[in-house]
Amino acid sequence: MNNLLVLPVLLPMVIAVFLMFFRKKVVLQRVVGLVGGIANVLIAGAVVLRVRSEGIQTLQLGGWEPPYGIVFVADMFAALLVLAASITGLAVLIYSFASIGREREEHYYYTFFHFLLVGVYGSFMTGDIFNLFVFFEVMLISSYALITLGGDKKQLREAPKYLLVNILSSTLFVASVAYLYAAVGTLNMAHLSQRITEAGQGGVLNVIAVLFLIVFSLKAGLFLFFWLPGAYGAPPFAVRASFGALLTKVGLYAIVRTFTLIFPGDPSFTHGWIAGMAAATMILGGIGAVAYRDIPRILNYNVLIGVGFVAFGLSASTRDALDGVVFYMLHDILSKGLLFVLGGMLIAAAKTDRLDGMGGLIRRRPGLGWMFFILALALTGIPPLSGFAGKVLIVRGGLEEGMLALSLVALASSLLTLYSLVKIFREAFWGTEPEVQQEDEAVRRQKSKKTSKAANMKSTSGAALANVSAVVLLLFVIGIGLASNGVYAFASQAGETLANPILYIEAVLKGE
Amino acid sequence: MEWIMAVAIGALFMIGVYLILTKSLLRVILGTSLLTHGVHLLLLTMAGLKRGAAPILGSGSESYVDPLPQALILTSIVISFGVTALFFVLAYRAYQTRGTDEIDGMDAEGKEADS
């Protein structure tokens, strides 16, 4: 029963529509969202196991044979990303319960959140380039709503820029699809790949490939990331967590898919561009992460370093590097979600987002402190944790290809990641608590004695929920690291499809 | 025929880009809608402008024009319509709250607020 493939998209969509009717019933919204989130993790797990045992799965929507209809394709790469995204989505949802606030919850927050998931899962699963555009728009329009929801001044300042950049890149996306259709006359990715191989990639097809690279880089924050640090600093932290973990990864997925399946024909030209952009992203992201002293900016620039790393793996494109790309993207989705959840908890605990006003938090929030520390090590790629295997595979692939300079840049960017995060850890958690903070604390305690017990209970249950979501993600981040061997078996099956697009084409166009 | 369309689309893109680079948010939004017009015409043109009947079966014609790009354009039109509506409302709301519709003005104000 291959209809399994449509469930990851269908379930959040049904939930989103259902939740529209009950916007005032926050408890109902939370329960339905939670049950749906858990169900989605199970479904994604089932898809991964199915692909593991039976190979690439396809679903022809409406029963039309490809290339005439839209086809959903789950190879191991897409299935693993859907699984990682649904786990992160569930954790961010739980964190939203704790942090988003009743005002936003009553104004369709969960509806938008689920539509965002629809766009993300759909982009991973689709096998049609125009359908990819549509799922991108589903995701982006939900993200427009989420970035503006609440409407405080900062959001209203950043949202128009975010909209403008994404409208531009969507316009360019449609233009590239138009050129591609004129050049080869089809929209199905497998069929495109076949025809481009027959025609021989060069000349006009290279230009179209670079146009696609520009489009997806604007979405993924690969070198063309000027919009990202500001835009990701505007919305509440639960929204940032879903953006940082999912949105840029969808752009990256599209780059990886495009340049392994559709345009792999002329690597000396296209992959050179990707390599240069990856190097620039890692260097600029690293500089940004080290330069700033407010936590949101440091976290946003850390997102960019991860993007650069994956692009580096793609530009090397050896078998090892592609396995590494899969592995690293899994790690990156989970750990960037965790990074923003912890960042939100940290700022909520310190009541400021400037490092200067923090200190000594380890006494009040030891659990938060040590989770942040472990995450910093995982993002750097310290061996027993999740970031290590992906980075080793990518750098090994880079060295095999003789890309020494780029490998060194990648390793140096890991060092800058470590420095920027340990800077947060050292200044926020060690040291003494600032005077003002303690006064605030005293005032707050007096107040909280006066205020009703219910409000107090609510804030503690909120903190507990936030802790639950952080712990869930942290267990996965540690688990992927400890079970590297087991995960590698899956990642390497995904890497095999990326390295040999013929497997993908045969699975989709098996009738011919 | 295609070259006339190409020139027209080029002009639309040119004006759109010029408007996007101006200060006023309203002009920026007009620029994005000109760009989307340009890109929809581009889709139509790139699929070929050969003569043929409208793609409706039963007109008894020998040849029809390509139906696929028309479906793509229809999809893209409604998407950009939705996004443009949202953008206009957002601009209105930003004007109400922030008291300016200039993108530069927004930045200066933001830096004051941040520091």
Q: Which residue among B75, B90, B98 sits closest to A134, beta carbon to beta carbon?
A: B75
Own/partner pairs for A476-480, CB < 8 Å, 24+ apart? A476/A87, A476/A334, A476/A386, A477/A331, A477/A334, A477/A335, A477/A338, A477/A374, A477/A375, A477/A378, A477/A385, A477/A386, A478/A374, A478/A378, A478/A384, A478/A385, A478/A386, A479/A386, A480/A330, A480/A331, A480/A334, A480/A386
Contact status of A134 with chain B (Cβ, < 8 Å): yes
Is residue B109 over pLDDT 60? no
Indicate the residue of B48, B80, B86 with minimum beta-carbon distance to A144. B86
Residues of chain A contacting B39 with CB distance shorter than 8 Å: 171, 174-175, 178
CB pairs under 8 A between A and B: 97
User: Which of B28, B42, B69 lies closest to A164 in CB terms?
Assistant: B28
Taking the CA of residue B61 and the nearest CA in chain A, the distance in Å comes to 23
pLDDT at A113: 96
Do A241 and A309 meet the contact criterion of CB atoms below 8 Å apart?
Answer: no
Q: Are the C-beta atoms of A258 and A217 separated by less than 8 Å?
A: no
Asked if residues A37 and A87 have their Cβ atoms less than 8 Å apart, the reply is no
Beta bridge partners of A57: A74
pLDDT for the residue B62: 85
* Residue B95 forms contact with A (CB below 8 Å): no
Residues of B in contact with A151 (CB under 8 A): 93, 97
Alpha-carbon gap, residue A77 to A189, rounded angstroms: 15
Spatial separation of the C-alpha atoms in residues A210 and A204, rounded to whole Å: 10
Residue A168, chain B, CB below 8 Å: the answer is yes
Domain segments of chain B: what residues? 2-50+65-110
Q: Report pLDDT for A170.
A: 96
| pLDDT tens profile A69-104 | 999 999 999 999 999 999 999 999 999 998 888 889
Among candidates A231, A201, A259, A172, which has minimal Cα distance to A498? A259
Q: Buried b vs exposed e over A449-468: b needs ≥16 C-beta within 10 Å? A: eeeeeeeeeeeeebbebbbe
Query: Which of A273, A267, A269, A282 is closest to A322 using CA atoms?
Result: A267
Question: How many helices and strands (H and E) does chain B possess?
Answer: 4, 0
Q: How far apart are CA A111 and CA A379, in angstroms?
A: 31
Q: In whole numbers, what is the pLDDT of chain B averaged over residues?
A: 87
pLDDT at A512: 47
Is A126 touching B (CB cutoff 8 A)? no
Please tell me whether the overall predicted TM-score, pTM, comes out greater than 0.95 for this model: no
| Three-state DSSP class for residue A45 | helix
Pick the CATH number of B2-50+65-110 from 1.10.10.10, 1.10.287.3510, 3.40.50.2000, 3.30.1390.20: 1.10.287.3510
Nearest chain B residue to A353 by CA: give it. Answer: B114
**ipTM, 2 decimals?**
0.93
Q: Residues B30-52: what's their mean pLDDT?
A: 92
At B52-95, the pLDDT tens digits run 888 888 878 888 899 999 999 999 999 999 999 999 999 999 88
Check A167 against B83: CB less than 8 A apart: yes
With 60 as the cut, is the pLDDT of residue B111 above it?
A: no
The predicted structure's pLDDT at residue A72 = 94
Report CA A235 to chain centroid distance, whole Å: 16
Low-confidence ranges of chain A (pLDDT < 70): 1, 435-459, 511-512
3-class state of residue A431 by DSSP: coil
Please choose, from the candidates A372, A373, A331, A377, the residue with its C-alpha nearest in 3D space to the C-alpha of residue A484: A331
Cβ atoms of A112 and A77 closer than 8 Å: no
How close B20 comes to chain A (CA, Å)?
A: 9
Interface probe for B, chosen from A133, A164, A173, A215 (most Cβ of B below 10 Å), is A164
State whether residue B106 sits within 8 Å of chain A by CB: yes
Residue B93 and residue A156: Cβ atoms within 8 Å? yes
Report B:53-92 residues touching A (Cβ under 8 A): 68-69, 72, 75-76, 79-80, 82-83, 86-87, 90-91
Is B83 in Cβ contact with A178 (below 8 Å)? no
Decide if A179 touches B, using CB distance below 8 A: yes
Element (H, E) at A357: none
Distance between CA atoms of residues A114 and B27, nearest Å: 33
Which residues pair with residue A475 across a beta bridge?
Answer: none
Tell me what pLDDT residue B115 has: 40
B53 phi and psi angles, rounded to 5 deg: -75, 160
Chain A partners within 8 Å of B43 (Cβ): 174, 177-178, 181
CB contact under 8 A, B90 and A160: yes
Q: Between chains, do A177 and B79 touch, taking CB under 8 Å as contact? A: no
Going by their DSSP bridges, the two strands A57-60 and A71-74 should be labelled as: antiparallel
Residue of chain B with shortest Cα separation from A141:
B83
d(C-alpha A180, C-alpha A78), whole Å: 23
